[in-house]
Copies of this chain bind each other. A is one copy, B any other.
Amino acid sequence: MSSAKKKSDGRANQYAYPGLDRVIHERARLSVLTSLARYPKGLRFGDLKSLCGLTDGNLSRHLQVLQEASLVEVEKGFEHNRPQTTCRLTGEGHKRYVEYLAVLEQVVRDAAAAVRDGSGAVRGAKS
């Protein structure tokens, strides 16, 4: 059995991470969802934009994707006679964000182990 064959034996999909939901994983949407998880009563559009460092256009576009996936709800209303948009996580959004977080924690553990064991493999080969 070749060494390459051994490497993949029993390790198929070891680093595949199907639970790394693409709707949540995208960088800007991860920022939006983390902000909304922190403020579950909701955030105004401007505050969310600031926390995430996004432009109006970018935030609107990503909120649309998150609404279509039922992860976020957007409420348009008035405050002091001025239009106000409030965004918050749905129950489904909270649940899926927590599930995603568990997968992301596994990725970080695997990545740290890969760097550590990989460096060890190189040192081992040189000694």
Q: Please list the residues of chain A having a beta carbon within 8 angstroms of any beta carbon in chain B.
A: 4-5, 7-8, 11-18, 20, 22, 25, 27, 30-31, 34-35, 37-41, 43-44, 46-47, 50-54, 97-98, 101, 104-105, 107-108, 110-115, 117-119, 121-122, 125
Partner of A122, one of B41, B107, B121: B41
When all copies of this chain in the complex are counted, the total is 2
Q: From A35, which residue of chain B is reached at the shortest CB distance?
A: B15
User: In the complex, what's the smallest C-beta–C-beta distance from A19 to chain B, in angstroms?
Assistant: 10
Pull 21 A–B residue pairs with CB atoms less than 8 Å apart, ordered by A. Answer: A4-B43, A4-B47, A5-B47, A8-B47, A8-B50, A11-B51, A13-B50, A13-B52, A16-B53, A20-B30, A25-B27, A34-B111, A37-B114, A37-B118, A38-B117, A41-B121, A98-B115, A101-B115, A104-B108, A104-B111, A108-B108
What chain B residues lie within 8 Å of A115 (beta carbons)? 37, 97-98, 101
